[in-house]
Structure 1
Amino acid sequence: MRLALFNKGRLGLVDGYELVDVTEQLAGSGTPGAAGALHQHIETVARGGAAEIDLTRCARVPLVEAVLEAPLPRPGKIIGAPVNYLDHKAEMEYTTSVADLGVFLKANSSVIGPGQDILLPYTDKRTDQEGELGVVIGRTATHVSADDALDHVFGYTCVLDITVRSGEDRSTRKSFDTFTPIGPWVVTADEIPDPDTLDLRCDVGGATRQRTNTADLIFGVRELIAYTSSVMTLHPGDVIATGTPAGVGPLSHGDRVVLEIEQVGRLEVGVDGSRAAPYEQRPGSRDR
């Protein structure tokens, strides 16, 4: 299944060129809260409470008329894998990789959805796009083996890990509001038996910047889940951004960023630099 949030928090199943509104059937009763109806459904599935869907009882909306939103607007955790492709390690002249650096956290307040804008914070610091496969956790995972890792996955999505090239820690440079576009939906794990064989392409301004296959990950999806769960408990609805390949580059006001991942989907967002300010004007900046 492909599951999306649309039209102010409704939960939809993508069926061809239509969205089937399955909010009441899959999200259950009660208000889902800031985490959203899909997150509520993932937690229900984790408890063994998945319901059968009767599509004959559901309203349908043409996909082109729906306003898609981030499928997981406030994940419990967003976990990033730095330097997880060898070609990206080479282009950035890093001497280390994910095997040495471990993982990092991004603020969940940085999430936006399809069609929204990345807001550039600075006029004089480069802000780059990083296209990545996102893994959505479906069952609590702690110290799981690589062999068992995929049993803990609910599904997959597209993630853009936007990054300011400045001197702060990764979690700061990657956590500005709007710096984690996610979407356009989550594809359930049963549709992607092997996440380590997917083609990925990221275009900016109509030109392809990144092209790879997830087979080239240093830590593949299984190994990355195993490693991460040895550090922190993973909960249903957490998102792991698996790392970006070579081809990262600066974003400019008016750019369109398009990330396409085989079997997963196409995520498109804009770039707005109209409110950017000089780096030295950031709060707390002073001569030292």
Structure 2
Amino acid sequence: MKICRFGDNRLGWLDGDVVRDVTAALDILAPKTYPFPKHDILIENLAAICARILVIGASAPIVTDAKLHLLSPVANPGKIIAAPVNYQKHLKEVLNDANLHHDNQINHIERAGLFLKATSSVVGASEGVALRKLDRRNDHEVELAVVIGRAASNVTRAAALDYVAGYCIGLDITIRGPEDRSFRKSPDSYTVLGPWLVTADELTDPGTLDFSISVNGEIRQNSNTGDLILGVQQLIEFASSFYTLQPGDVIITGTPEGVSPILPGDIMVARMDGIGEMTVAVRAADNGNRVSHA
């Protein structure tokens, strides 16, 4: 099943070529009070919501394209977990280009470990990317995003996919510079998730997916998840050995070679087998022209 969030926090179901408004399916969620959960309750109850969608979906109203303002399919991820230089060719690309490494120490992922991005950086496809620090290079990085479906701690590689709720396309936007990765990758809108969540039962082999990103019609990155250094199962095993993963946590799995700059006015189109494509516009953030001191 493919589900999305759109408009004023409404829930959509991709029924063939149309999106139907199935917000009524959210009525099965129990109301929460303070202190609120540290995870996403829609993802926690995804199976029940999908079952409800199958009951009400056929008669649900169709959403017109004009109203389909796509938000992130995950509203409240507790953690955004990112995998640095997780494609061999990208590792070589970074090591060979001072504009990418800025004299930072670049290690193999199993030595460098994973890093976290601020959850406040998450947006959906229609919200677009608002660039900051325009005097510095801002790059696109297209990735497979894995959404965790239930609590996972010290999960084995063999069992890892049992903990996946679904998948979406991820864009990890990056300001180049000498600071820590998580700092440069966490401005508002620098994590784009979308266009919808494809449930794990529909995408059973995340290790064989062709994907690409174009900017203004020019292909910039074009690869396959089979080229990951650590695949999805290994990343879940690795991450859950350090901390408990919760429903709605997102693992963005790393980007291949071909990272390159984006500028206000650019249009990015990201595509991935089994998921689809999303179009993301780039603009300048408020005060985006302010000169940084890096």
TM normalised by structure 2 equals: 0.88
Question: Partner of 1:219 in structure 2?
Answer: 230
Q: Which amino acid aligns with 1:212?
A: S
1:74 deviates by: 3.0
Q: Which amino acid aligns with 1:11?
A: L
Change in Cα spacing, 1:270 to 1:147, as seen in structure 2 (3 Å) is same
2:21–2:63 contact (8 Å) kept in structure 1 = no
Corresponding position: 1:129 with 2:140: yes
1:231 deviates by: 0.9
Aligned partners of 2:64 and 2:263: how far apart in 1?
A: 29
Q: Which amino acid aligns with 1:7?
A: G
Aligned partners of 1:158 and 1:237: how far apart in 2?
A: 15
Question: Partner of 1:248 in structure 2?
Answer: 259
Q: Which amino acid aligns with 1:4?
A: C
Question: Partner of 2:288 in structure 1?
Answer: 276
Corresponding position: 1:190 with 2:201: yes
Secondary structure, in 3 states, of the residue corresponding to 2:261?
Answer: coil
Please say which of residues 78-87 and 18-27 is displaced more in the overlay.
18-27
Secondary structure, in 3 states, of the residue corresponding to 2:157?
Answer: coil
1:28–1:41 contact (8 Å) kept in structure 2 = no
Change in Cα spacing, 1:276 to 1:99, as seen in structure 2 (3 Å) is same
Q: Which amino acid aligns with 2:42?
A: H
Q: Which amino acid aligns with 2:219?
A: T
Q: How does 1:68-107 map to 2 (within 5 A)?
A: 68-93=70-95, 95-107=106-118
1:14 deviates by: 0.5
What is the percentage of aligned positions where both structures have the same residue? 44
Q: Which amino acid aligns with 1:143?
A: N
1:158–1:264 contact (8 Å) kept in structure 2 = yes
Aligned partners of 1:200 and 1:97: how far apart in 2?
A: 23
Q: Which amino acid aligns with 1:69?
A: L
Change in Cα spacing, 1:133 to 1:205, as seen in structure 2 (3 Å) is same
Q: How many residues align?
A: 278
Q: How does 1:89-168 map to 2 (within 5 A)?
A: 89-93=91-95, 95-168=106-179
Q: Which runs of 5+ in 1 are unaligned?
A: none
Change in Cα spacing, 1:246 to 1:32, as seen in structure 2 (3 Å) is farther
1:232 deviates by: 1.1
Q: Which runs of 5+ in 2 are unaligned?
A: 96-100
Aligned partners of 1:196 and 1:57: how far apart in 2?
A: 32
Change in Cα spacing, 1:190 to 1:99, as seen in structure 2 (3 Å) is same
1:11–1:27 contact (8 Å) kept in structure 2 = no
Q: Which amino acid aligns with 2:71?
A: E
Change in Cα spacing, 1:202 to 1:50, as seen in structure 2 (3 Å) is closer
Change in Cα spacing, 1:70 to 1:92, as seen in structure 2 (3 Å) is same
